[in-house]
Structure 1
Amino acid sequence: MMPDGWSHLSLAKISSAITSGSRDWAQYYSDSGAKFIRMTNLQRENIWLNLTDLKFVDIQSDSADGRRTSLQLGDILMSITAELGKIGWVNDGLGEAYINQHTALIRINQDTADSQFIAYLLSSKAMNSKINRLNDAGAKAGLNLSTIRAISFDAPPLSEQKKIAQILSTWDKAITTTEQLLANSQQQKKALMQQLLTGKKRFSLNGNYAYSVRDGFAKSKLGALPSDWKVELIKKHLWYQEGPGVRKHQFTEQGVKLFNGTNIQFNKIDLSNTKTRISEEECLGTYKHFLVDDGDLLIACSGISVDRFDEKIAFASTAHLPLCMNTSTMRFKPLSDGGVDITYFHYFMQSLVFKNQIRRQATGSAQLNFGPSHVGKCFVVIPSLEEQQKIAAVLSTADQEISVLQQKLEALKQEKKALMQQLLTGKRQVNIK
């Protein structure tokens, strides 16, 4: 049932123009100039343009292509091929910009509707699902302009639209601020890790955590490192094991969960959606020596990029057990010699020093694909055990700060999503006074 005061509208009724770009934009590509907004610059469930991967075009603004696809403040963009229905809203910081044939431009008549509100509405989960069902191209996703013009929805009066857009924009600013804080914290941790794990920044070893830069670097197998540090093969200090290749016909509905590389996301183990299991009888028999222990360091070692490998490393805890290793995963335990602290090694594996080694050892160009034979040829940088533990403690503190920001960001996104559902359907009214 439509809320009181709301109207049933279509994009055709409230738009002054709906068009798309030329199919021959390659002739305009340049190293600088006007911004070229593509489908990849639009985001899912977010109306703000992502300009990190940006192309430029050199085009005459008064040409046919220029006039038809030149963007103005308040324009709404919609992806119309491949990933249908991604939405972007043009704000006042974009400057001169154009679109290509994979993106539709929807110019709202501001006397009849608020373009930012309409952008939020089109980006909502309900409308996005509706748009994706309008596929005009069969197996190959695509929308034509007449279909876009016919998209309809219920909307409140213009004054209420503006208020809703203002409220959601405030939430988006909070989300953006938190995202920036998170990105800064992650970058700071990465820089700190690089300095600490190569000895460019060290602790004074008199019981406090003050930094001191020390002389005495020496050339090693892994480059210039402090002369009092060791560089030794990983296998001398850590035991490691690759998971078995459990076959599909062995999977059961009940039993012990199988651990796969997809179970590690952003350095955390998530088994909530794991349906792959093996029977307890087989697990405690043939695969008993692949059962994960509390404190094991687990990694994914296949199907991931080198740059994102540091996200695929995590510790197992009792909450994850019982758990059995599976293919394309490895686990590590420190040997009894006590030469390498496992938490320190966890951070070492995230460093460029380790990733550059595994990059040379691994097979596959874009994605990692390695195993025990490759790890066996890699070295670990070994400060004193005391210094290892201090390095691990500082980086663990950085991880805790990052985790707090990640949780805050996820909470903001979930709260905004719930608020959108209420405001954009009229279940929650706004005070426009």
Structure 2
Amino acid sequence: MLPDGWRRTTLGDIGSVKSGSTPARSQHDRYFVDGKWPWVKTMDLTNSEILTTDEVITDAALAESSCRLFPAGTVLVAMYGGFKQIGRTGLLREKSAVNQAISAIDIERDQADPEFVLHWLNGSVETWKNYAASSRKDPNITRENVCEFPVILPTLVEQRRIAHILSTWDQAIATTERLLANTRNCVEILSNALLTGRKRFDGHAAWQSKPLSEMICESRVVGSGGDVAKKITVKLYGKGVVGKSDKRAGSESTQYYRRSSGQFIYSKLDFLNGAFGRIPASLDGYESTLDLPAFDFLEGIDPRWFLQYVSREAFYTGHLGLANGGRKARRVNPKDLLRICVPTPCLKEQTRIADAIEAALSAVSIQERHLTLMRQEKSALMSQLLTGKRRVRLPADEAEPA
């Protein structure tokens, strides 16, 4: 049951729904070069205001094609691209054109507030799947689907207050995202400086070039067969080591090797994608084949520093020549890995470097958790506000007349 003054309607009843088009690419210089009108494509949609577009078009494109300009305040919805794209939204802040993959909804301002409609659509994105699932090919939606899309509207005054509250949350989230991106960038700069010696801690000896064979030693403790082994796998880009859940048992004849907590492990096949990690205590005793070799650390090496060093993109992409095999099965073998020489600080400086990088990464983790909580709180609040379960307080001078 809806609160008093609220009503059910559809997008087609509160606005004019049209789609755009693409000017002929064969006239690129005439239609796209030195253009002045934003031309919105699906990838420009960010579920918020459209602040910039990848391409702009010219007056000639508007005059000589079916492209048209939509006014500021038009709400946009992506119609094509499968479940990951359909339902993406945007709100025009200036006159703009759109391509044929987007529905443009010019809202009747005496019926609804465009920002409120934008938030409603963002809170109802899963509903599009009900329409797209009936598509015969890739899941898409049609103009008719957009026109029929259900909307619940409070009074205009309450719409505006709800939109203001949710937009304030969006601004706070966007600010936090920028802070997080800046922190990540600073951590990367600091890490590279410390790990390459461009930035040093005072009081330590000069670095020496050492092969990895003086830092780690391959472990080959024979384990189980593939039919019973508890398996592990290594994520790409230094994202860690996890247990592997096989839906079907492996071959009994495949030899697995026991791995221990704290060992360094990597994937031969995905070396060039940064598939490195240390085995956590929770996976002690798990097993892998020789395609995921594991290594014990030798004396004089801080495992944290070692993993930080090899997990840098500059390290694993800089050794492309080590990969052997065909294009789709290029492997880096342990003997080649162990021959790599790296500039190595003493153990005490390794530890100081690792401590500094971990402290910086901790700041990133705190901001990531804060951002996650903000998104969760905003989502919960949006769900309550858009359904009337939680009402906004209207000042007396803004309240609708009885």
- Structure 2 residue 258 is matched with structure 1 residue 290: yes
Change (3 A) 1:296 1:148: same
Shift of 1:298: 4.6
Q: Give 2:88's aligned residue.
A: 87
Q: Tell me which of 256, 260, 269 is aligned to 2:233.
A: 260
Alpha carbons 2:233, 2:242 under 8 Å: kept: no
- Structure 2 residue 156 is matched with structure 1 residue 158: yes
* 1:355-374 mapped onto 2 (5 Å cutoff): 355-362=316-323, 370-372=332-334, 374=336
Change (3 A) 1:320 1:421: farther
Q: Give 1:130's aligned residue.
A: 127
SS in 2 for 1:140: coil
Alpha carbons 1:35, 1:97 under 8 Å: kept: yes
Shift of 1:403: 0.6
Shift of 1:14: 0.7
Alpha carbons 2:45, 2:88 under 8 Å: kept: yes
Shift of 1:301: 5.9
- Structure 2 residue 287 is matched with structure 1 residue 324: yes
Q: Which moved more, 1:179-188 or 1:189-198?
A: 189-198
Q: How far apart, in 2, do the equivalents of 1:24 and 1:305 lie?
A: 40
| CA deviation vs aligned residue, 1:119-149 (integer Å, no higher than 9, x gap) | 111122xx32221221264122222212211
Task: State the TM-score, normalized to the length of structure 2.
Answer: 0.81
Change (3 A) 1:96 1:8: closer
| CA deviation vs aligned residue, 1:208-230 (integer Å, no higher than 9, x gap) | xxxxxxxxxxxxxxxxxxx9322
Q: How far apart, in 2, do the equivalents of 1:357 and 1:265 lie?
A: 14
Alpha carbons 1:15, 1:108 under 8 Å: kept: yes
* 1:406-421 mapped onto 2 (5 Å cutoff): 406-421=368-383
Q: Which amino acid in the other structure matches residue 280 of structure 2?
A: S
Q: How far apart, in 1, do the equivalents of 2:248 and 2:296 lie?
A: 24
Q: How far apart, in 2, do the equivalents of 1:60 and 1:386 lie?
A: 67
Q: How far apart, in 2, do the equivalents of 1:427 and 1:318 lie?
A: 46
Q: Give 1:214's aligned residue.
A: none
Q: How far apart, in 2, do the equivalents of 1:266 and 1:356 lie?
A: 13
Q: Give 1:102's aligned residue.
A: 101
Change (3 A) 1:259 1:117: farther
Shift of 1:71: 4.2
Alpha carbons 2:323, 2:331 under 8 Å: kept: yes
The alignment of Structure 1 onto Structure 2 pairs a total of residues equal to: 385
Q: How far apart, in 2, do the equivalents of 1:32 and 1:378 lie?
A: 51
Q: Which runs of 5+ in 1 are unaligned?
A: 207-226
Q: Give 1:221's aligned residue.
A: none
Q: Give 1:335's aligned residue.
A: 298
| CA deviation vs aligned residue, 1:69-121 (integer Å, no higher than 9, x gap) | x34322222111113433332353xx564322222212211221011111111
Q: Give 1:212's aligned residue.
A: none
Shift of 1:196: 1.7
- Structure 2 residue 221 is matched with structure 1 residue 238: no
Shift of 1:5: 2.2
Q: How far apart, in 1, do the equivalents of 2:329 and 2:182 lie?
A: 26
Q: Which amino acid in the other structure matches residue 429 of structure 1?
A: R
Q: Give 2:166's aligned residue.
A: 168
Q: Which runs of 5+ in 2 are unaligned?
A: 396-402
Q: Which amino acid in the other structure matches residue 333 of structure 1?
A: D
SS in 2 for 1:232: strand
Q: How far apart, in 2, do the equivalents of 1:165 and 1:402 lie?
A: 30
Q: Which amino acid in the other structure matches residue 341 of structure 2?
A: F
Q: Which amino acid in the other structure matches residue 261 of structure 1?
A: V
Q: Give 2:48's aligned residue.
A: 47
Q: How far apart, in 1, do the equivalents of 2:130 and 2:163 lie?
A: 26
| CA deviation vs aligned residue, 1:245-279 (integer Å, no higher than 9, x gap) | x99x837xxx84x32235x78745566xx643899
Alpha carbons 2:241, 2:280 under 8 Å: kept: no
- Structure 2 residue 24 is matched with structure 1 residue 38: no
Q: Give 1:216's aligned residue.
A: none
Q: How far apart, in 2, do the equivalents of 1:109 and 1:411 lie?
A: 35
CA RMSD between the two structures: 3.7
Q: Which amino acid in the other structure matches residue 393 of structure 1?
A: D
Alpha carbons 2:211, 2:342 under 8 Å: kept: yes
Q: Which amino acid in the other structure matches residue 389 of structure 1?
A: T
Q: How far apart, in 1, do the equivalents of 2:290 and 2:5 lie?
A: 59
Alpha carbons 2:89, 2:121 under 8 Å: kept: no
Alpha carbons 2:263, 2:295 under 8 Å: kept: yes
Q: Which amino acid in the other structure matches residue 181 of structure 1?
A: L
Q: Which amino acid in the other structure matches residue 54 of structure 2?
A: L
SS in 1 for 2:131: coil
Change (3 A) 1:394 1:430: same
Q: Tell me which of 359, 365, 370 is aligned to 1:403.
A: 365
Q: Which amino acid in the other structure matches residue 345 of structure 1?
A: F
SS in 2 for 1:389: helix
Shift of 1:424: 1.6
| CA deviation vs aligned residue, 1:10-59 (integer Å, no higher than 9, x gap) | 1111113422323745633447754432212224xx435585x8234344
Q: Give 2:246's aligned residue.
A: 276
- Structure 2 residue 396 is matched with structure 1 residue 423: no
Alpha carbons 1:231, 1:381 under 8 Å: kept: yes
Q: Tell me which of 189, 192, 204 is aligned to 1:191.
A: 189
Q: How far apart, in 1, do the equivalents of 2:12 and 2:112 lie?
A: 12
Alpha carbons 2:180, 2:367 under 8 Å: kept: yes
| CA deviation vs aligned residue, 1:326-370 (integer Å, no higher than 9, x gap) | 68655443123x2x3211111111334413323343478799864
